[in-house]
Structure 1
Amino acid sequence: MNSLVYVWQQASHSLSDILYQGGWVLSLLLVLSSLLASLLLERYWFRFVSYPKQLRRYQQTLIHALPLHWQTAAEDLSRRCDLELALGRYLSLIKNLISLCPLLGLLGTVSGMIEVFDSMALSANNQPQQMAAAIARATLPTMLGMSIALLGLINFTYLKRWSQRSKLSLTASGLSLGSH
């Protein structure tokens, strides 16, 4: 148990060191990546748990409603529209968050480089090792922002394609008003 506590303390120490080295932008990227991860997890939950249940319910109500008259047809259209809207929920927000990550990373690098050049101008001692370490710290936000964006883009592309296929499947499988 003590070793687990020790590992946890070391990990939290390492994270706080990285956040300190990267500046305020890394903290903002951490918040942004948490929001992005929670939205992606919600979409995966919808994809594998909620949507199949909703689709089965929709198909069952559709079968029991045959033959369609105008009121049942309107209810069917409403349910199908709700399903299609649910398929695209949060995708545009996810896309925007993904595009923000590299931009915030670049902002962190620029602000870090400004700090490096300010400290070089103020100090008479310009040691190459210290400059290299400061520049490496300054580029950390860009690396993190691009990494988050890359992982987010892979997941977004998968979810977007699944959403498009599911919308087409709703129409092609005869679950549209024109097929009744």
Structure 2
Amino acid sequence: MLELLRPGGFIMIPILACSILALAIVLERFWTLRLNRVAPTHVINEFWRWVKKKEVNSHRLRTLQESSPLGRILAAGLMNAKHGRDVMRDSIEQEASQVVHELERFLNPLGTIAQITPLLGLLGTVIGMIKVFAEIQFGGIGNTENLAGGISEALITTASGLTVAIPALIFHRYFMRRVDEMVVTMEQEAIKLVEVVHGDREIDIEGA
């Protein structure tokens, strides 16, 4: 690693920092954005059994709220169900906006890394070429070692920037798509809850 950092110049320091940060974000998001954590099937099925049998109470609402992000949304809706459909829907939307914000945490920085690391690589390329032309101007083309060093710096920073940016961009889009899918799942369960509570829909536990 140090063999690449030295010829790459000081621009390699922020590129390396971006690579470490991107790796940390990717690992953290893989752990956080698990479906069995965001919308665990067994918890949701148990919740619908409570609703079907009219066994929902404050203790079970607290358990649901603490179980998962989707549980928080459903619990928020049930806590305000007695105030009417509109209030119930508003409470669900408010809680859902907070949940979605948490699901998208760190994705903006990951997207920023995907955008800035190629620019850092380009900056390193420009600096390396400036050194090459300065060496040619003041020393001619006889000192091939210095010329090769400048060209090497330019190529290494470009390659390093792209090496960090490409995976960061791929994972950014992957996680955004994953969040979108989870949002759709949570939205469907929330709509189902509103319709069931207000008598517009029967509960099908098998399909829950």
Partner of 2:83: 70
Q: Structure 1: which 5+ residue stretches go unaligned?
A: 1-14
| Distance in 1 of aligned mates of 2:109 and 2:160 | 20
The residue identity in structure 2 corresponding to 1:31 is A
Where 1:174 maps in the other structure, the secondary structure is helix
Partner of 2:16: 30
The normalised TM-score by structure 1 is 0.75
Which has the higher Rg, Structure 1 or Structure 2?
2
1:43, distance to aligned residue in structure 2 (A)? 1.6
Asked if residue 58 in structure 1 is aligned to residue 45 in structure 2, the reply is no
1:110, distance to aligned residue in structure 2 (A)? 0.3
Q: Higher helix proportion, which one?
A: 1
| Distance in 1 of aligned mates of 2:130 and 2:155 | 12
| Distance in 1 of aligned mates of 2:80 and 2:2 | 64
Instruction: Quickly say closer, same or farther: Cα 1:38–1:166, change in 2 above 3 A.
Output: same
| Distance in 2 of aligned mates of 1:66 and 1:107 | 55
Q: Pick one of 112, 115, 128 that aligns with 2:131.
A: 115
1:135, distance to aligned residue in structure 2 (A)? 1.2
Q: Pick one of 90, 93, 96 that aligns with 2:106.
A: 90
Asked if residue 142 in structure 1 is aligned to residue 155 in structure 2, the reply is no
Relative contact order, CA 8 A, sep 6+: which one is greater?
A: 1
Q: Structure 2: which 5+ residue stretches go unaligned?
A: 40-66, 198-208
Where 1:81 maps in the other structure, the secondary structure is helix
| Distance in 1 of aligned mates of 2:73 and 2:118 | 42
After superposition, give the CA deviation of every residue in 1:41-92 in whole Å (9 maximum; x if it has no partner). Answer: 22222112753452463377479x4892129836544433322222222222
| Distance in 2 of aligned mates of 1:124 and 1:81 | 63
| Distance in 1 of aligned mates of 2:184 and 2:74 | 19
CA RMSD between the two structures: 2.9
Partner of 2:47: none
Q: How many residues are paired up?
A: 164
Instruction: Quickly say closer, same or farther: Cα 1:89–1:124, change in 2 above 3 A.
Output: closer
Instruction: Quickly say closer, same or farther: Cα 1:69–1:77, change in 2 above 3 A.
Output: farther
Partner of 1:3: none
The residue identity in structure 1 corresponding to 2:132 is V
| Distance in 2 of aligned mates of 1:122 and 1:162 | 55
Instruction: Quickly say closer, same or farther: Cα 1:125–1:113, change in 2 above 3 A.
Output: closer
Asked if residue 39 in structure 1 is aligned to residue 53 in structure 2, the reply is no
